[in-house]
Amino acid sequence: MILTEAQTSEYRDRGWLVIPDAFRAAEVDVLQAAALEVLERPGPEVGREADGSPHVCWGMHLFDDRLDALVHHPTLVETSRQLLDNDFFVHQSRINMKQTNGSIVAWHQDFGTYHRVDGVPDPRGIMIAVFLDDVTAANAPLLAVPGSHREGLVSTAQVDPSAPDFEAVSKYRYDITGDTMKRLVDDYGLESITGTAGSLLLMDMTVVHGSSVNISPLRRLLLYINVCPVDNRGESYERPEYYAARDFSPVQPSSPECLLEFA
Ligand SMILES: O=C(O)CCC(=O)C(=O)O
Protein backbone atom coordinates (compact mmCIF):
# COMPACT_ATOMS: atom_id res chain seq x y z
CA MET A 1 0.00 0.00 0.00
CA ILE A 2 1.36 3.41 -0.97
CA LEU A 3 0.10 6.41 0.97
CA THR A 4 -1.09 9.36 -1.07
CA GLU A 5 0.41 12.80 -0.71
CA ALA A 6 -2.74 13.91 1.13
CA GLN A 7 -2.29 11.05 3.62
CA THR A 8 1.39 11.76 4.27
CA SER A 9 0.61 15.48 4.70
CA GLU A 10 -2.16 14.65 7.16
CA TYR A 11 0.28 12.50 9.14
CA ARG A 12 2.94 15.20 9.19
CA ASP A 13 0.54 18.07 10.00
CA ARG A 14 -1.77 16.43 12.53
CA GLY A 15 0.49 13.68 13.81
CA TRP A 16 -1.65 10.74 12.79
CA LEU A 17 -3.58 9.06 10.04
CA VAL A 18 -6.34 6.42 10.13
CA ILE A 19 -6.66 3.99 7.22
CA PRO A 20 -10.06 2.27 7.30
CA ASP A 21 -10.35 -1.35 6.06
CA ALA A 22 -6.59 -1.88 6.03
CA PHE A 23 -7.15 -5.46 7.19
CA ARG A 24 -9.79 -7.94 6.06
CA ALA A 25 -12.36 -9.49 8.42
CA ALA A 26 -10.59 -12.88 8.25
CA GLU A 27 -7.30 -11.21 9.23
CA VAL A 28 -9.01 -9.46 12.14
CA ASP A 29 -10.40 -12.84 13.27
CA VAL A 30 -6.89 -14.37 13.25
CA LEU A 31 -5.48 -11.47 15.25
CA GLN A 32 -8.36 -11.43 17.73
CA ALA A 33 -7.90 -15.13 18.47
CA ALA A 34 -4.15 -14.63 18.89
CA ALA A 35 -4.53 -11.60 21.14
CA LEU A 36 -7.05 -13.25 23.46
CA GLU A 37 -4.83 -16.33 23.76
CA VAL A 38 -1.66 -14.34 24.47
CA LEU A 39 -3.44 -12.27 27.14
CA GLU A 40 -3.86 -15.52 29.08
CA ARG A 41 -0.10 -15.82 29.61
CA PRO A 42 0.86 -15.92 33.28
CA GLY A 43 4.12 -13.99 32.93
CA PRO A 44 5.20 -10.51 34.02
CA GLU A 45 4.65 -9.27 30.46
CA VAL A 46 0.91 -9.17 31.20
CA GLY A 47 -0.47 -6.10 32.98
CA ARG A 48 -3.70 -6.65 34.90
CA GLU A 49 -6.77 -4.78 36.09
CA ALA A 50 -7.49 -4.49 39.81
CA ASP A 51 -9.62 -7.65 39.62
CA GLY A 52 -6.72 -9.62 38.08
CA SER A 53 -8.09 -9.80 34.54
CA PRO A 54 -5.55 -9.14 31.78
CA HIS A 55 -5.39 -5.67 30.29
CA VAL A 56 -2.09 -5.40 28.40
CA CYS A 57 0.49 -7.83 27.08
CA TRP A 58 3.83 -6.19 26.36
CA GLY A 59 6.05 -7.61 23.63
CA MET A 60 3.14 -9.50 22.06
CA HIS A 61 4.95 -10.26 18.80
CA LEU A 62 7.67 -12.12 20.73
CA PHE A 63 5.13 -14.63 22.00
CA ASP A 64 2.99 -15.62 19.03
CA ASP A 65 3.60 -16.38 15.34
CA ARG A 66 0.37 -14.72 14.24
CA LEU A 67 1.25 -11.47 16.00
CA ASP A 68 4.77 -11.66 14.62
CA ALA A 69 3.27 -12.13 11.14
CA LEU A 70 1.35 -8.88 11.61
CA VAL A 71 4.63 -7.01 12.12
CA HIS A 72 5.73 -8.23 8.67
CA HIS A 73 2.44 -7.58 6.91
CA PRO A 74 3.20 -5.57 3.75
CA THR A 75 0.54 -2.97 4.53
CA LEU A 76 2.23 -2.18 7.79
CA VAL A 77 5.80 -2.39 6.49
CA GLU A 78 5.26 -0.33 3.35
CA THR A 79 3.34 2.49 5.03
CA SER A 80 5.81 2.72 7.93
CA ARG A 81 8.82 2.73 5.63
CA GLN A 82 7.22 5.46 3.57
CA LEU A 83 6.53 7.67 6.59
CA LEU A 84 9.94 7.09 8.18
CA ASP A 85 11.81 7.21 4.89
CA ASN A 86 13.92 4.37 6.25
CA ASP A 87 13.91 0.75 7.33
CA PHE A 88 12.65 0.21 10.87
CA PHE A 89 12.75 -2.17 13.80
CA VAL A 90 10.08 -2.83 16.44
CA HIS A 91 10.94 -0.99 19.62
CA GLN A 92 7.88 -2.24 21.52
CA SER A 93 4.59 -4.01 20.88
CA ARG A 94 1.54 -4.56 23.06
CA ILE A 95 -2.02 -5.80 23.17
CA ASN A 96 -4.39 -3.38 24.87
CA MET A 97 -7.80 -4.68 25.86
CA LYS A 98 -10.00 -1.95 27.21
CA GLN A 99 -12.68 -3.79 29.12
CA THR A 100 -15.79 -2.50 30.83
CA ASN A 101 -14.77 -0.38 33.83
CA GLY A 102 -11.10 -1.13 33.24
CA SER A 103 -8.08 1.16 33.54
CA ILE A 104 -7.67 4.63 32.15
CA VAL A 105 -4.49 5.52 30.27
CA ALA A 106 -3.23 8.90 31.52
CA TRP A 107 -1.88 11.55 29.16
CA HIS A 108 1.54 10.66 27.85
CA GLN A 109 3.86 10.55 24.87
CA ASP A 110 5.24 7.09 24.07
CA PHE A 111 8.54 8.75 23.16
CA GLY A 112 8.85 10.04 26.74
CA THR A 113 9.62 6.60 28.20
CA TYR A 114 11.44 5.41 25.12
CA HIS A 115 13.82 8.36 25.32
CA ARG A 116 14.41 8.65 29.05
CA VAL A 117 14.32 5.01 30.03
CA ASP A 118 15.21 3.04 26.91
CA GLY A 119 17.62 5.57 25.42
CA VAL A 120 15.92 6.12 22.04
CA PRO A 121 17.77 9.27 20.92
CA ASP A 122 15.38 11.14 18.65
CA PRO A 123 11.63 11.72 18.47
CA ARG A 124 11.41 9.70 15.26
CA GLY A 125 9.11 6.71 15.25
CA ILE A 126 5.53 5.58 14.73
CA MET A 127 2.94 4.19 17.12
CA ILE A 128 1.00 1.81 14.90
CA ALA A 129 -2.38 0.54 16.09
CA VAL A 130 -4.56 -2.14 14.52
CA PHE A 131 -8.21 -2.01 15.59
CA LEU A 132 -9.62 -5.45 16.38
CA ASP A 133 -12.98 -4.09 17.57
CA ASP A 134 -15.01 -1.18 16.33
CA VAL A 135 -13.85 1.92 18.19
CA THR A 136 -16.55 4.53 18.64
CA ALA A 137 -17.31 7.46 20.93
CA ALA A 138 -19.02 4.87 23.18
CA ASN A 139 -16.11 2.56 24.12
CA ALA A 140 -13.43 4.97 25.31
CA PRO A 141 -11.51 5.75 22.12
CA LEU A 142 -7.98 7.02 22.14
CA LEU A 143 -7.92 10.81 22.69
CA ALA A 144 -5.06 12.79 21.17
CA VAL A 145 -3.84 16.35 20.71
CA PRO A 146 -3.35 17.05 17.00
CA GLY A 147 -0.06 18.74 16.22
CA SER A 148 1.43 18.03 19.66
CA HIS A 149 4.28 16.04 18.07
CA ARG A 150 5.72 19.36 16.92
CA GLU A 151 6.39 20.35 20.55
CA GLY A 152 8.88 17.56 21.25
CA LEU A 153 8.80 16.29 24.83
CA VAL A 154 6.25 18.41 26.69
CA SER A 155 7.15 17.39 30.22
CA THR A 156 10.13 17.18 32.46
CA ALA A 157 10.94 13.76 33.85
CA GLN A 158 9.38 13.46 37.26
CA VAL A 159 9.78 10.18 39.04
CA ASP A 160 6.85 9.24 41.23
CA PRO A 161 8.23 6.87 43.84
CA SER A 162 4.72 5.96 44.96
CA ALA A 163 3.75 4.67 41.49
CA PRO A 164 2.92 0.96 41.72
CA ASP A 165 5.33 0.11 38.96
CA PHE A 166 7.97 2.63 39.96
CA GLU A 167 10.75 0.24 38.94
CA ALA A 168 9.28 -0.67 35.61
CA VAL A 169 7.07 0.67 32.97
CA SER A 170 5.65 4.05 33.83
CA LYS A 171 8.02 5.69 36.24
CA TYR A 172 8.61 8.61 33.86
CA ARG A 173 5.64 8.16 31.69
CA TYR A 174 2.59 9.71 33.23
CA ASP A 175 4.06 13.09 33.97
CA ILE A 176 2.14 15.55 31.83
CA THR A 177 0.65 18.04 34.26
CA GLY A 178 -2.88 19.42 34.14
CA ASP A 179 -1.51 22.87 33.27
CA THR A 180 0.48 21.50 30.34
CA MET A 181 -2.55 19.58 29.09
CA LYS A 182 -4.73 22.68 29.32
CA ARG A 183 -2.23 24.74 27.39
CA LEU A 184 -1.90 22.06 24.69
CA VAL A 185 -5.65 21.63 24.31
CA ASP A 186 -6.17 25.41 24.21
CA ASP A 187 -3.54 25.66 21.48
CA TYR A 188 -4.29 22.58 19.41
CA GLY A 189 -7.61 21.02 20.45
CA LEU A 190 -8.33 17.44 21.45
CA GLU A 191 -9.79 14.70 19.26
CA SER A 192 -11.02 11.15 19.56
CA ILE A 193 -9.73 8.51 17.16
CA THR A 194 -12.42 6.14 16.00
CA GLY A 195 -12.73 3.52 13.28
CA THR A 196 -14.12 0.09 12.50
CA ALA A 197 -12.34 -3.19 13.22
CA GLY A 198 -9.59 -3.63 10.63
CA SER A 199 -8.57 0.03 10.65
CA LEU A 200 -4.91 0.97 10.87
CA LEU A 201 -3.75 3.99 12.88
CA LEU A 202 -0.31 5.47 12.21
CA MET A 203 0.64 8.03 14.85
CA ASP A 204 3.85 9.93 15.44
CA MET A 205 5.12 8.55 18.73
CA THR A 206 5.52 12.03 20.19
CA VAL A 207 1.80 12.89 19.97
CA VAL A 208 0.21 13.42 23.41
CA HIS A 209 -2.57 10.88 23.94
CA GLY A 210 -4.50 8.88 26.51
CA SER A 211 -7.91 7.31 27.10
CA SER A 212 -10.61 7.38 29.74
CA VAL A 213 -12.53 4.57 31.40
CA ASN A 214 -14.75 2.37 29.23
CA ILE A 215 -18.10 2.32 31.03
CA SER A 216 -19.82 0.66 28.06
CA PRO A 217 -20.30 -3.11 27.79
CA LEU A 218 -18.39 -2.92 24.49
CA ARG A 219 -14.86 -4.35 24.56
CA ARG A 220 -12.15 -2.36 22.77
CA LEU A 221 -9.24 -4.56 21.70
CA LEU A 222 -6.26 -2.92 19.94
CA LEU A 223 -2.79 -4.07 18.97
CA TYR A 224 0.06 -1.56 19.16
CA ILE A 225 3.42 -1.79 17.42
CA ASN A 226 5.90 1.05 18.00
CA VAL A 227 8.59 1.21 15.36
CA CYS A 228 11.73 3.33 15.03
CA PRO A 229 14.00 3.92 12.06
CA VAL A 230 17.09 1.69 12.19
CA ASP A 231 19.33 4.65 13.01
CA ASN A 232 17.31 5.53 16.13
CA ARG A 233 18.00 2.70 18.57
CA GLY A 234 17.38 2.65 22.31
CA GLU A 235 20.38 0.92 23.80
CA SER A 236 20.10 1.47 27.56
CA TYR A 237 18.88 -2.14 28.11
CA GLU A 238 17.31 -1.04 31.40
CA ARG A 239 14.04 -2.83 30.80
CA PRO A 240 13.29 -6.40 29.69
CA GLU A 241 12.93 -7.16 26.00
CA TYR A 242 9.14 -7.24 26.22
CA TYR A 243 9.26 -3.48 26.94
CA ALA A 244 12.21 -2.43 24.78
CA ALA A 245 13.87 -3.96 21.72
CA ARG A 246 16.96 -6.08 21.67
CA ASP A 247 16.57 -6.98 17.99
CA PHE A 248 17.32 -3.97 15.81
CA SER A 249 17.28 -5.79 12.48
CA PRO A 250 15.13 -4.12 9.82
CA VAL A 251 11.66 -5.62 9.53
CA GLN A 252 11.16 -7.22 6.12
CA PRO A 253 7.76 -7.49 4.45
CA SER A 254 6.31 -10.94 3.94
CA SER A 255 3.43 -12.12 1.78
CA PRO A 256 0.10 -10.24 1.76
CA GLU A 257 -1.43 -13.57 2.76
CA CYS A 258 0.77 -13.92 5.86
CA LEU A 259 -2.13 -13.63 8.30
CA LEU A 260 -4.63 -15.56 6.21
CA GLU A 261 -2.32 -18.57 6.32
CA PHE A 262 -3.44 -18.92 9.94
CA ALA A 263 -7.17 -18.61 9.16
O1 LIG B 1 -5.43 2.07 23.97
C2 LIG B 1 -5.41 2.95 24.84
O3 LIG B 1 -6.39 3.27 25.47
C4 LIG B 1 -4.17 3.73 25.10
C5 LIG B 1 -2.93 2.97 24.90
C6 LIG B 1 -1.76 3.85 24.85
O7 LIG B 1 -1.85 5.04 24.90
C8 LIG B 1 -0.44 3.30 24.69
O9 LIG B 1 -0.31 2.07 24.81
O10 LIG B 1 0.50 4.07 24.44
Q: How far is the CA of 105 from the centre of ligand 1 (A)?
A: 6
Query: Span 15-26, mean pLDDT?
Result: 98
Query: Span 74-89, mean pLDDT?
Result: 98
Q: Label residue 165 by pLDDT band (50, 70, 90).
A: low
| pLDDT on residue 197 | 98
Q: How far is the CA of 12 from the centre of ligand 1 (A)?
A: 20
Q: In what order do the strands lie in the sheet with 191-193?
A: 105-108, 209-211, 142-144, 191-193
Which residue puts its alpha carbon closest to atom 3 of ligand 1?
Answer: 211
Tell me which CATH code domain 5-262 carries: 2.60.120.620
Res. 98: pLDDT tops 90: yes
Query: Span 56-66, mean pLDDT?
Result: 97
pLDDT in tens, 123-161: 999 999 999 999 999 999 999 999 999 999 997 656 566
Going along the chain, which residue ranges are E strands?
Answer: 16-19, 46-48, 54-58, 88-98, 105-108, 126-131, 142-144, 191-193, 200-204, 209-211, 220-229
Q: How many other CB atoms are found less than 10 A from the CB of residue 250?
A: 12
Length of the chain: 263
Residue ranges lining ligand 1, Cβ < 6 Å: 94, 96, 98, 105, 110, 142, 209, 211, 222, 224
**Ligand 1 atom with least separation from CA of 209:** 7
Query: Span 227-240, mean pLDDT?
Result: 95
Domain chopping of the chain, boundaries? 5-262
Q: How many other CB atoms are found less than 10 A from the CB of residue 71?
A: 23
Tell which one of 58, 101, 105, 117 to mutate to probe ligand 1, the residue whose CB is within 8 A of the most ligand atoms: 105
Name the average pLDDT for the chain: 93
Share of the chain above pLDDT 70, in %: 92
Beta bridge partners of 203: 16, 127
